[in-house]
Amino acid sequence: MAENVFDGFESGQVNVGRSAVRSLNATVANVAQSAIQHLTAETVHAQNSAMGVVNASTVELKDGAAAIIASDYVRIEDGSTFLLLAPRVSGNVRAVVTLQAAFAFGAGYFVARRIAGALFGRQGR
């Protein structure tokens, strides 16, 4: 059984099953058992899929994984993501870096840099 591999695809509503797609732009994307490198859509419904970068208004992911998700609303059931940028999240989400954590890392870096500068200062001025 041959698997489908696509380089890029644009459409209004797309149903992707058991495929590999490099880039997908759609209004509504229904993805099942597929791998997508970059997905841009208004609404994403994904099941048992792996995605690189997802940019959408609404993302619903079940039993899948995504490296980066940027969305207004994310619902994840038994899925994981590395970087999650969303103000509203529901479901069983395993995120390594959330929006709040990203701000905390940035603030911590800024404070540590200021303290190190004050302690060690610039010598030789």
Residue 111 inside a domain? The answer is yes
Q: Which of the four pLDDT bands, split at 50, 70 and 90, describes residue 124?
A: very low
How many domains does the structure of the chain reveal?
A: 1
Q: Which of the four pLDDT bands, split at 50, 70 and 90, describes residue 64?
A: very high
d(CA 19, CA 70): 23
Q: Which domain holds residue 27?
A: 4-120
Residue 125 inside a domain? The answer is no
Alpha helix ranges (H) inside 1-125: 99-120
Residue 95 inside a domain? The answer is yes
Write out pLDDT tens, residues 86-115.
Answer: 999 999 888 888 778 888 999 999 999 999
What's the distance, Cα to Cα, between the start and end of the chain in Å? 71
Q: What is the mean pLDDT of residues 48-62?
A: 97
Residue 84 inside a domain? The answer is yes
